[in-house]
Amino acid sequence: MDAYPQRLGFSKSFVDLNLYIKVVKEEPIIILLYADDLLMTGVEGRIQECKKQLAAKFNMKDLRLMHYYLELEVWQEPDEIYLGQGKYVIEMLKRFDMIDCKTMTTPMITNLKRLKSFESNLVDSTRYRQLIGSHVYLVNTRPDICFTVNVLSQFQVKPKHDHWIAAKHILRYLQGTNHYSLKYDKRNDIHLIGYRFRLGRQ
């Protein structure tokens, strides 16, 4: 499957090796591969054309509009798209025994000095990294926890009890805000522009 999109004229991304892009007459189409799942987006006409080309080579099942992909939930309306990870949050809460925890209104603890305390005892670093890693994957749709996760990621080598409490504080915040999602509204006339750079030595 890896080589076939390139035979169809797709260019493989250097940043994400599972991403393929093709532009025909200024009409783009993008394919993202993950194991046996394929996500496709772009101009409708190009999508239908690409479906036929792939179906001629592979046994494909068309699942129509995307609703769930790699822990990402998608709700599509004519002029709106919502992205969320509510199911993923619930799985996190269960995994770390926080499904019945009390909620918090902010993602970060208020006393930041505790994070630099030398008096706190060390905790299981593997368990701490698992929790932080779970948070990192969640920032795709929850930019409101991005700063907190960034701060707590700095203590993964020798995490202490205060860091563990702060990381669980995020779970308490997520418990009360699990309904939050990203909204992309066509009516707001938002234009997303991407830039590519190539760096060389001076």
CB 140 within 8 A of CB 70: no
CB 11 within 8 A of CB 1: no
Residue 187 lies in a domain: no
Residue 57 lies in a domain: yes
Query: Quick one: 111 and 45 in the same domain?
Result: no
Residue 72 lies in a domain: no
Residue 200 lies in a domain: no
Query: Quick one: 116 and 163 in the same domain?
Result: yes
> For residue range 80-92, what is the model confidence (pLDDT) as tens digits?
889 999 999 999 9
Report how many domains make up the chain: 2
pTM: 0.77
Expressed as residue numbers, the domain containing 15 is 1-64
> For residue range 154-191, what is the model confidence (pLDDT) as tens digits?
999 999 999 999 999 999 999 999 999 998 887 766 66
Query: Quick one: 53 and 7 in the same domain?
Result: yes
CB neighbours (10 Å) of residue 173?
20
